[in-house]
Amino acid sequence: SRENKTAHNMMEALNEAYDKLRPPAKEMKKEEEKKEEGKDIQAALAEEIAELKNPKTKRFQKLDAGLQKGIGFIKMLPPPEGSKDEPLSPPELAMALMEHIKETKERKSRYCMRFIPVENVCFASKEKIEETMKPLIDKHFPKAGEGVVPIKFSVLHESRASSHLDRMEIIDLVAKLVPEPHKVDLSSPDKSILVSVMKSICMVGVLSNYHGLAKYNCNVLAMTDEERAEACKATNFKPVAKVEFCKAEKTSVPEVESTDSDKACKETPPAKDSEKVDDSK
């Protein structure tokens, strides 16, 4: 199905990004051994395929959450026992993938629009959200002290098939958890705290350079400047003060308000035939 192909393509892209950030130390050793021992190429290839099929070496797994059509989930598995490599967090890996797409203009999957990292999941209630957010806030926003650099942040709230939580109450709740000397900055935040509610589930995470990476929109990041200009023109999008959506740079539109930039992202034209990615791999 389309969902399975998209998940497969994105897991391949995540594995590539992971290997670039954490190159396996054994790879260089294997190459040296192959040259020294003159190992048969077919035997070496069979070993690598067997290792990839081994569930203990898998990094990602497609989940069938059944929450909403058109939204898929990929679980990041813990490293295997005995691994000495420092694991990456979902936000680190997702940001590296988005930066790669922005730099290379390479669409990893034709049907993947946004790729949002999630660090934790909880029941969608104010009490559980506050409880779940506290350790994330402590991790990303250290308390005031010597050498602590102030971080500008914003709180983003998204809701799908859910209306039992007041948007501004959740935003205020999360913002108050962030200690001094960190300050709210809706125009150019260093980090964005995402609270995404879907039915009775709440997904939370802290994203870096969210606006500079086009809200982690893969389609927009893969566009050239000319394609962005055409998309803006097709949707009659007119940037307001300080907004540079067409350049895919940081935007000064606060997340607490709906803007035409979201419409422009949602109505991004499909990839041209010459730019389609082969999903049959």
Gap between the Cα atoms of 124 and 139, Å rounded = 22
Q: Has residue 137 got a pLDDT over 90?
A: yes
Q: Has residue 258 got a pLDDT over 60?
A: no
Both tokens assigned to 70:
């058109």
Whether residue 59 contacts residue 77, with contact meaning beta carbons closer than 8 Å, is answered with yes
Q: What is the pLDDT of residue 222?
A: 92
221-250 average pLDDT score: 63
Summarised one tens digit per residue, pLDDT across range 76-99 is 988 777 677 778 899 999 999 999
- Contact partners, residue 201, CB within 8 Å, separation at least 6: 67, 121, 122, 123, 124
Q: Has residue 248 got a pLDDT over 90?
A: no
Report DSSP letters for 65-116, one per residue.
--SSTT--EEEEPPPPTT--SPPPPHHHHHHHHHHHHHHH---S-TT--B--
Q: What is the pLDDT of residue 158?
A: 93
Q: What is the pLDDT of residue 182?
A: 95
Tracing tokens 């300050």 back to the chain, one arrives at 183
Q: In this prediction, what percent of the chain has a pLDDT beyond 70?
A: 72
Question: Whose CA is closest to 195, among 81, 251, 119?
Answer: 119
Question: Whose CA is closest to 222, among 71, 89, 115, 118?
Answer: 115
Most confident of 65-74, 119-128, 232-241: 119-128
* Separation in Å, CA 155 to CA 104, 174, 182, 197: 29, 7, 13, 13
Q: What is the pLDDT of residue 3?
A: 83
Q: Report the chain's mean pLDDT, rounded to a whole number.
A: 78
pTM of the model: 0.70
Q: Has residue 37 got a pLDDT over 80?
A: no
Q: What is the pLDDT of residue 249?
A: 37
251-263 average pLDDT score: 39
Name which of 52-61, 86-95, 201-210 the model is least confident about. 52-61
Give 11 or 266, the one with higher predicted confidence. 11
* Separation in Å, CA 259 to CA 123, 189, 236: 29, 18, 13
Confidence of residue 257 (pLDDT cuts 50, 70, 90): very low
- Which amino acid is it at 281? K
Q: What is the pLDDT of residue 72?
A: 87
Gap between the Cα atoms of 203 and 213, Å rounded = 20
Gap between the Cα atoms of 83 and 67, Å rounded = 34
217-239 average pLDDT score: 81
Question: Whose CA is closest to 237, among 267, 266, 268, 264?
Answer: 264
Confidence of residue 150 (pLDDT cuts 50, 70, 90): very high
- Which amino acid is it at 274? S
> Which DSSP category does 245 fall into?
G
